Amino acid sequence: MSRKSSRKQVAQVGEESIDIEEIIKQVLQSEEMLNGISKIVREAIKPLEKRLVSLEKQVGELQASLDDLAAYNRLTNLRIYGVKEEPKENTDQIVIGICASIGVTISDEHISVSHRIGRNMNGKRSRAIIVPYISSTKPIIIAVTETWLSASHPDNVFDVPGYEAHRRDRLTRGGGVMLYARKDVKVKRLFDLEDIEFETCYFNISLPSLQSFILGVCYRSHEFSPMPQFVDHMSDFNGHSAQWCPTKPSTLDGNCLYDFALKEGLSQLVTKILALDD
């Protein structure tokens, strides 16, 4: 083949290539193709649009919840103005001193954190002190189960300011129960009600109002299978209910025990007198 004819064929191929590119361009720009691509894209983004709407709704709900929480937290915030700002000051002690000067006794246990708010103006103006209180009330009793503590864990590691801890650790791994009692509450541990087989602690609680009651903290492990043995260990409550035994009049304790047994589906196993008067 001559060099001249080869060049002619190459030119024809080049012209054909240009024609193909033009056809492709026309097809891609045709209304039918654009409509088809648009439809495919719309179908593809529909789930994303729904997801976006759902996320926007969740963000709105979270923002509303955050606003409510912030408004609630501000109810326990106190702002103090006009206190001269000093370098390396202790704002907790400043607040305690101010309260003492007006006859209000508080301690650092009542304050979660205190600090100056706003930008530091290099001493030109003293900033306000904000004091978020931990709580307006402190629970009398805090009961904890499954503490996983052992004799190797000292009490001071788990101190809660203003509370006294009473604990019973499991001799093996896991389990354990604990009671935190506010220090203005008188607590007596009732060891005679406890049993080595069960993770329980019993206390006589005497409130400042002179009311008293017995409180038990109990934990039943998932590994404890003989449920009848656990339930049968109930001792003598000295409570009487005529609804299960008409030989004696009902007492308040007996009626409460009867209601508890009824709600929990417990049954009376004793069918005869086990104790006789002398």
Instruction: Please report the pLDDT score of residue 41 as a whole number.
Output: 86
Tens-digit pLDDT string for the chain (278 aa)? 555 555 555 455 455 445 677 767 777 777 777 788 888 888 888 888 888 888 988 888 888 877 776 666 666 678 888 888 888 899 999 988 988 888 777 887 778 788 888 877 776 788 888 887 655 567 888 888 888 888 888 888 788 888 999 989 887 777 888 999 988 889 999 998 888 878 889 999 988 767 788 888 888 776 655 444 444 444 445 567 887 777 778 888 778 878 877 877 776 666 665 444 44
Picking from 201, 150, 145, the residue whose alpha carbon sits closest to that of residue 173 is 150
State whether the Cα torsion 193-194-195-198 is positive or negative: positive
Instruction: Please report the pLDDT score of residue 188 as a whole number.
Output: 93
Question: Which pairs count as long-range contacts for 219-227, CB under 8 Å and 24+ apart, including other chains?
Answer: 219/145, 219/146, 219/175, 219/176, 219/177, 221/174, 221/175
Taking CA atoms, 242 is separated from 235, 248, 273, in Å, by: 19, 6, 16
Instruction: Please report the pLDDT score of residue 230 as a whole number.
Output: 47
State both tokens at 29. Answer: 């720009």
Contact 107, 84 (CB under 8 A): no
- Block residue for tokens 């006794």: 105
* pTM metric for this prediction: 0.39
Instruction: Please report the pLDDT score of residue 189 as a whole number.
Output: 93
